[in-house]
Amino acid sequence: MSVSAYIHSIATAVPEYRISQDEVVSRLSARMPNGMPDKLAGVYASAGIDNRHIAQPADSYMEPAQWPERNAIYLEEAERLMARLAEDALAASGHNADTVDIIVCISSTGIATPSIPTQMLKSQGFREDVETVPLFGYGCAGGVLGLQVARDLACARPEATILLFCVELCSLTFRMGDFTKKGIVSTALFADGGSAMVISAKGDGPRIGASAQKTWPDTRDMMGWDIDEAGLGLILARDIPSFVTREFAPVLDGFLEREGLEKSALRQPACHPGGRKVIEALERYFDHLPEGLPATREVLRGYGNMSSPTVHFVLKQLLENERDNRPILLTALGPGFTGAVGLVHP
């Protein structure tokens, strides 16, 4: 008899500090001798983002910071965000902290050993024997890949209750004065936020379906981290929107064929909004949707690219706002270079 895994609740949260795209441009322009050139300003104007949330007041990002300082902020702010997420996700699912058996934590924007969930056990009321599964390195693909891991754990341990975290503080990788292409893309797109889900093989809720992952060889230069005295520095060297059309679309085709699904059988998908041009490439693939990907665009506009949790913001919106029993396809792209795809059945 096959075992299925279900999502009992989804919680999302962002830090208290919000910054508009116009304010980002204004602050950076003030640091340039002759103001921001129109070509650079156009990158921010066309990013499809109005507002983002960041872990620290905007002034604190204007001066250089070293890795120990940045990581100390990560440890403090990520734990604060996870505490909020745990409370909200558990309350919405009707669970208590002491009923959680496994905590999976996806995060790639700081280093914590022991893991942040491990450090939270006593203060948040988790049992001392709860299992913690910290996963680093998934990046923007982590929302889909983390859901796969949680599903597999739930199916392998049908009596277990699993709490899945995705928390990223991308703003801590900001480097004042880096006006390279990747530096501009970073300051135009990335933001901070988190998500949490309560998942198990018991009860009901949206069912987590099949999934797939593909990593392309010799693509490390597409996305990832370099590490130096300032901490995590973005690797971003290739045209990802073109890659979506050329390489990721066939992966989606193959996955749907294996699952016996046509694109027309899907409702609006939950796509990780890597950026406006990535969304446009995905909309060309999902050409059966006359309105494109409005939920994905709305999350990008209001929150920016928060890396791993962003796709969960989209999924939560779709589940709450649309009454539609057709499957939801989740997609994300991340370091590796890796594509991730999965199904959720409402």
Q: What per-residue confidence (pLDDT) applies to 160? A: 98
Report the chain's C-alpha Rg in angstroms: 19
pLDDT of residue 272: 97
* CATH of span 5-200: 3.40.47.10
**Share of residues in the chain with pLDDT > 90 (%):** 74
Predicted local distance difference test score (pLDDT) of residue 227: 80
Query: Is 140 among the catalytic positions?
Result: yes
Residue of 201, 110, 135, 147 whose CA lies nearest to 340: 147
Work out whether the CA dihedral 89, 94, 97, 102 comes out positive or negative: negative
Three-class secondary structure of residue 80 per DSSP: helix
Check pLDDT > 90 for residue 252.
yes
Q: Does 212 score more than 90 pLDDT?
A: yes
CATH number of 207-345: 3.40.47.10
pLDDT of 238 > 80? The answer is: no
**More confident position, 237 or 338:** 338
pLDDT value of residue 31:
83
Q: Which pLDDT does position 43 carry in this prediction?
A: 86
Catalytically annotated residue among 105, 140, 170, 271: 140
Question: pTM score, two decimals?
Answer: 0.96
What's the average model confidence in pLDDT over 100-124? Answer: 95
Range 240-269 burial, b when 16+ CB lie within 10 A, else e: bbebbeebbbebbeebbeeeebeeeebebb
What amino acid is encoded at 186 in this protein?
S
CB atoms inside a 10 Å sphere around CB 215: 13
Q: What letters, b where the CB count within 10 A reaches 16 and e where it falls short, cover 222-239?
A: bbbeeeeebbbbbebeee
Q: If you count them, how many residues does the chain have?
A: 346
Dihedral through CA 312, CA 315, CA 321, CA 323, nearest 10? -150
Counting Cα atoms < 13 Å in the Cβ hemisphere of 179 gives 13
- What is the arithmetic mean of pLDDT over 190-198? 97
Q: Could you give the CA distance from residue 63 to residue 87 in angstroms, rounded to a whole number?
A: 34
Q: Which residues of the chain form CATH 3.40.47.10?
A: 5-200, 207-345
Q: Average pLDDT, whole number, for the chain?
A: 93
pLDDT band (50, 70, 90) for residue 83: very high
Residue 62 has pLDDT above 90, yes or no: no
In the predicted structure, residue 279 carries a pLDDT above the cut 80: yes
C-alpha separations of 239 from 133, 229, 324 in Å: 33, 28, 34
